[in-house]
Structure 1
Amino acid sequence: AEEEGHSLSEKKILKNLEEIFKASKGRIIVATFSSLINRIQQIISLSEKYHRRVCLEGYSMRGNVEMCRVLGYIKARKGTFISSRQIERFSPSQITILGTGAQGESEAVLMRIALKEHPYIKIRKGDSVVFSSSVIPGNERTVQIMKDEILKQGARVFHYKMMDIHAGGHAKAEELKKMIRIMKPKFFLPIHGQYSMLVAHSQLAQEVGMKDKNIVVAENGDIINLSPRKIYLEKKKVPANYIMIDGLGVGDVGQVVLRDRQMLAKDGMFVIIVVVDKETGKVRTSPDIISRGFVYLRESKRMLMETRKKTIAIVERATGSGRAVNWSYIKDEIRNKIGKFLFQKTQRRPMVLPVVIEV
């Protein structure tokens, strides 16, 4: 909705793909979505035209192609398809490999080929790798790493920014307006995408004559009231937050747990174990320290020695008055003061866990 004009024609994409097939002397490795059936048919048809066998790689790719062949949506000559084990029986100019992984998914075929983890397919100099898809926002870095790995192995890479070999799966502004004109809806509720995209889609509906009162832009949790006469949002909402699943637990991982995990991942954990004599209030032995993901103990002996001294001082200051001892207060004091001390020394804030044992 935010992009003006029309999407690319599939005829133009087919023409550009054919230019790659004409020029390529080695194997052609094409990565696309396994649900993009028309593109898969284009690759199969071009392979047959240029006397190439097609190796389908990836569970979803093989499954979707087989299903579509049964239903008559994909057509291929007998003998077109071969397995990855049969690739070496043919010259590179006779092979097309069609699989998934254009988004840089770690377990997908193209990534395994790029990282040399595929048992039968390795990138060779002279191969042409075609990314027949646009990059989904958020996947840019992973896709770039994968492209670099492929290029390092001597292959040539083609992608949608170099030439028109993919049309996005989302209609552009003029196509969305055309659909509204064809359907002539009474009410309009744009869905899918960021909030700005929903608003842009609703503005397109107004441009083609829909009344503002018949258009609703809703978010997750909104309650939409719809009747034959009108559509509107109710003031109240329903819960629509993420439900975290962790192991066998469903919904039991809250914000506090997530915050703790983020802290542990960022700065690590620092455990101080103090054994205190119940009668005298004195620390019996030097406090034990366990560090995970914060500092390597053997290389931080001076800081650990200072930490032990500070811990002993905090405990004995709190227990030396002769009054009843508040152990929760002592733990908080250790956590706060040792935390500040460690930050001064390292500019990091590990999760400090004090353990006080009375004997």
Structure 2
Amino acid sequence: MTIFEYDGDAIILDMGIQFPEEDMPGIDYIIPNAKYLEHKKKNIRGVVFTHGHLDHIGAAPILLEQLGNPVIVGKDLTLALIKHKQEDYKKGTAKNLKTIRIDKLTDIIKLGKFTIKFFQVEHSIMDAVGVIIETPNGTVIHPGDWTLARDINGVTHINYDELSKLPKPTVLMLESLGSTNDKRHGIYEEIYKNIMNILTNAPGRVIIGTFSSQLERVRWILESAEKLGKKVALDGYSMKMNVQVAQELGYIKSAKNVLIDIKDLHRYPENKVVVVCTGAQGEKNAVLMRIINKQHRFVQLKKEDTVVFSSSIIPGNERSIQRLKDNMYRQCDNVIHGEIMEVHVSGHATREDILTMINQIKPTYFIPVYANYYFLREAEQLALKNGFPKERIFVPDNGSIIEVNTQKAVMLDRKAPSDYVFVDGLGVSDNQNIVLRDRQVLAGDGMLVVIATIDSKTGTLIQNPDIISRGFVFLKDNKDLIEEIRNKVKQLVIKSDPKTWADSNQIRNDIRDKIGQFVLSKTEKRPMMLPVIIEV
């Protein structure tokens, strides 16, 4: 999410989600921190969405509600996907969305003192657009997520020379995920030829795992299957929903005669069916993982099946995908992925593309965005080596504030609040660090519950302290350790003289600290200590 302000007005570009990292157990996803706008809601003139991927629209239902439901701007597919997300969030609320539809790239939209224009970009979802934000102080050029598709001779399909003529100063904010990628793009014609060959020659069923947002690819698979007389079953909630939306908008026309329900697969010859599903990133409960784990109700892998991974690996998912591949190869003789055949075109730019974009647009200032910090720094180094002035490059961090006027640009020392805001079940909070820390401790070293029952009149222990271990040690195999802990607790309670207690807080703290230290010295583990004092 990026906020732009000028002369008391504000607009927002995109409202995406971030998926949790491995050390965030129980967190569903992370949304942008909107505290900076808490007292500026009345100044928000609109939210512009570049495309319909979850990392750009996923937080819209929550944040739009928080910010007073400002008007939203986007192309048809993007707006339709936001409406579906809104309905999933709170049924019956999509009708309350205030929308401005981008009909043509030549549309000009006024949002307060901002003038919004658009330009063509290539990405892995339909209806992606680049955004131009014009103010008297300068012009921002932001392609959202983008790539530069090239033909077999390396010539780009799109040229951005015209953007160099925009009113100066111009600020190019460029998604820089590909700043370390010096490989050539896959070529669409080559990808489609390979997939067509797979569909034609597969001895049995074809199972294709891909992103649910790859609607161009799904459309092409449907058209190819129709030519070959094959049927296609979609599986995965987001896959079916996205295709349904694309059908309603007329973007996918051939599906009617080709699509079948996944539960009807058995009614067709195995070499006449194709399954297109989610889960190529190794997600635990996604369709492809359920198929591999033999938990799918209607699809059980067979040796003659062909499985295609038609997606790139999202950083952080490498281990999950490797496990998925290992289990796939154990069950199936025909597994195809990007390492052995071109079956996926990335929707993100390469190093060459970034340089091409900078050279064509010739911006006054360059700000790499939408990537991990090291990608941004790599994009900076790339621009510097290409002769771009260092003082005109700004590498932001989360919360960075950059001021631009006709004379200069400067990154301010102060920052906007950017702490993680976690969505956990039905809860949304930026105060879950303590909860997250506790989960991490439980996941790492487990927990130890110590229960001491005290006679409130005499101050004596009624029975030996109870010790309960979960995820720490197996009690039956560590009887001596448990007995030592029990004796230590008994000594602490007796020494504290329960008859003199004002309350049990002090003894609970003593047990937590001293038993925790004792356990650490014996096991080199720090389980979560939960002392329970019962006075009867």
TM-score range, shorter chain: 0.7 to 0.9
- 2:401 is equivalent to residue 233 of structure 1: no
Further displaced range: 300-309 or 226-235: 300-309
> What number of residue pairs does the alignment pair up?
358
**Same amino acid, percent of matched pairs:** 41
Within 2, Cα distance between the matches of 1:148 and 1:333? 49
Report if the CA contact (8 A) 1:318-1:325 is conserved: no
Kindly state the Cα deviation for residue 242 of structure 1 after the two structures are TM-superposed: 0.7
- 1:3-39 Cα offsets, whole Å, 9 max, x none, are 2253121112122223323431211111112222332
Q: Tell me which of 58, 63, 86 is aligned to 2:241.
A: 63
Distance 1:79 1:148, change over 3 A: same
Within 1, Cα distance between the matches of 2:426 and 2:243? 35
One-letter amino acid of the counterpart of residue 130, structure 1: V
- 2:278 is equivalent to residue 100 of structure 1: yes
Within 1, Cα distance between the matches of 2:262 and 2:462? 68
Q: Residue 468 of structure 2 aligns with which residue?
A: 290
- 2:356 is equivalent to residue 197 of structure 1: no
Within 1, Cα distance between the matches of 2:535 and 2:256? 80
Give the TM-score taking structure 2 as reference length: 0.59
Q: Residue 335 of structure 1 aligns with which residue?
A: 512
Q: Residue 114 of structure 1 aligns with which residue?
A: 292
Kindly state the Cα deviation for residue 158 of structure 1 after the two structures are TM-superposed: 0.3
Report if the CA contact (8 A) 2:420-2:430 is conserved: no
One-letter amino acid of the counterpart of residue 273, structure 2: I
SS of the aligned residue for 2:254 comes to: coil
Report if the CA contact (8 A) 2:450-2:466 is conserved: yes
Q: Tell me which of 197, 200, 219 is aligned to 1:19.
A: 197
- 2:73 is equivalent to residue 73 of structure 1: no
- 2:436 is equivalent to residue 266 of structure 1: no
Within 2, Cα distance between the matches of 1:273 and 1:61? 50
Within 1, Cα distance between the matches of 2:346 and 2:439? 37
One-letter amino acid of the counterpart of residue 133, structure 1: S
Within 1, Cα distance between the matches of 2:457 and 2:256? 89
Q: Residue 222 of structure 1 aligns with which residue?
A: 400
Distance 1:159 1:289, change over 3 A: same
Report if the CA contact (8 A) 1:123-1:155 is conserved: no
Within 1, Cα distance between the matches of 2:430 and 2:182? 45
Within 1, Cα distance between the matches of 2:501 and 2:233? 78
One-letter amino acid of the counterpart of residue 193, structure 2: K
SS of the aligned residue for 1:223 comes to: strand
Within 2, Cα distance between the matches of 1:85 and 1:273? 52
- 2:361 is equivalent to residue 186 of structure 1: no
SS of the aligned residue for 2:398 comes to: coil
Q: Residue 87 of structure 1 aligns with which residue?
A: 265
Distance 1:351 1:193, change over 3 A: same
- 1:289-344 Cα offsets, whole Å, 9 max, x none, are 33333344455444333333333333334449x99989655444433333333344
- 2:220 is equivalent to residue 42 of structure 1: yes
Kindly state the Cα deviation for residue 120 of structure 1 after the two structures are TM-superposed: 2.3
Report if the CA contact (8 A) 1:55-1:97 is conserved: yes
Q: Residue 530 of structure 2 aligns with which residue?
A: 353
Kindly state the Cα deviation for residue 133 of structure 1 after the two structures are TM-superposed: 0.9
Within 2, Cα distance between the matches of 1:324 and 1:142? 52
One-letter amino acid of the counterpart of residue 2, structure 1: T
Report if the CA contact (8 A) 2:235-2:278 is conserved: yes
One-letter amino acid of the counterpart of residue 365, structure 2: F
Give the TM-score taking structure 1 as reference length: 0.85
One-letter amino acid of the counterpart of residue 351, structure 1: M
Q: Tell me which of 101, 117, 130 is aligned to 2:308.
A: 130
Distance 1:109 1:174, change over 3 A: same
Q: Tell me which of 338, 357, 362 is aligned to 1:160.
A: 338
SS of the aligned residue for 2:406 comes to: coil
One-letter amino acid of the counterpart of residue 100, structure 1: T
Report if the CA contact (8 A) 1:272-1:353 is conserved: yes
Report if the CA contact (8 A) 1:319-1:325 is conserved: no
Distance 1:77 1:284, change over 3 A: closer
One-letter amino acid of the counterpart of residue 297, structure 2: P
Within 1, Cα distance between the matches of 2:473 and 2:359? 65
Within 1, Cα distance between the matches of 2:347 and 2:317? 16
Further displaced range: 140-149 or 242-251: 242-251
Report if the CA contact (8 A) 1:56-1:99 is conserved: yes
Distance 1:95 1:199, change over 3 A: same
Within 2, Cα distance between the matches of 1:84 and 1:280? 69
Q: Residue 139 of structure 1 aligns with which residue?
A: 317
- 1:124-179 Cα offsets, whole Å, 9 max, x none, are 22110110112112212222222233333334110001111112221111122222
SS of the aligned residue for 1:157 comes to: strand
Q: Tell me which of 2, 5, 9 is aligned to 2:187.
A: 9
Structure 2 unaligned regions, length at least 5? 1-178
Report if the CA contact (8 A) 1:27-1:126 is conserved: yes
Within 2, Cα distance between the matches of 1:151 and 1:316? 61
Kindly state the Cα deviation for residue 355 of structure 1 after the two structures are TM-superposed: 4.0
Further displaced range: 106-115 or 186-195: 106-115
User: What is the RMSD computed on CA atoms of the aligned residues?
Assistant: 3.1
